[in-house]
Amino acid sequence: MLATEIKALRKLSEVLLGDYGVRIIDIIREKGEITDEELAKILGKDITEVRVMLHKLFDAGILRYRRVKDSQIGWYSYYWYFTDEPVRTLIHQRKNKILRKLEIRLKYEENNSFYICPNRDTPKLTFNEAYNNMFICPVCGSLLEPYDNSQDIEILKKIISRLKNLQV
């Protein structure tokens, strides 16, 4: 794998998993591929935690695995290795996923009016939710106040526009 790709994979894994992300990339780079058991031994971590981390890297498209069945005991071993997908593509795919979430949120903010409790840091309620609660905070009983979400909408629009124009 190219040095620039590895460097970017390390950065990406660091954002997702912190220092362990970087260590996992370095170990797999050295070994080519590795089982979760071996990796757990090297990292000195519980195998379940290691599997969770490996699956996060798999979900992000950084790692792939192959399954090998032990012919005697019938158990599977999982060998993890780097994807061949260029890192730019992984970043681009992630950007598109994020864009979709932000667009859903923007639509929600634009199509609803909200109410909020003046006394506590609780999630805001839509008009229907507030109406069903007689405009009373479900936690403390205070009277709910209208929430002006125009700044949230402005922030979301701006970020969405910047992401759409972003060249990865």
Partner 1 sequence: MSRRLSDLEKRIIEILETAGDEGLLQRELWNILGIDSRSGMRVVARLERRGFLTRKRVYHKGKATYLLRLSKKAGEEIEIPQILTVLPCFSCPYIDRCDEGGSPDPRNCIELDKWLRNMKIQHGGVNSE
Q: Which stretches of the chain bind partner 1, using CB under 8 A?
A: 1-5, 7-8, 11-12, 15-16, 56, 59, 61, 64, 83-88, 91, 94-95, 97-98, 101-102, 104-105, 108, 123, 151-152, 154-156, 158-159, 162-163, 166, 168
CA distances from 145 to 90, 113, 123, 136 (A): 43, 11, 13, 9
> Measured on CA atoms in the order 82, 88, 10, 163, is the torsion positive or negative?
negative
CB atoms within 10 A of CB 130: 23
Q: How far is the CB of 123 from partner 1 (least distance, A)?
A: 6
**How far is it between the farthest Cα atoms of the chain?**
68
- Which residue lies nearer to partner 1 by CB, 45 or 105? 105
Q: How far is the CB of 161 from partner 1 (least distance, A)?
A: 10
Q: How far is the CB of 37 from partner 1 (least distance, A)?
A: 22
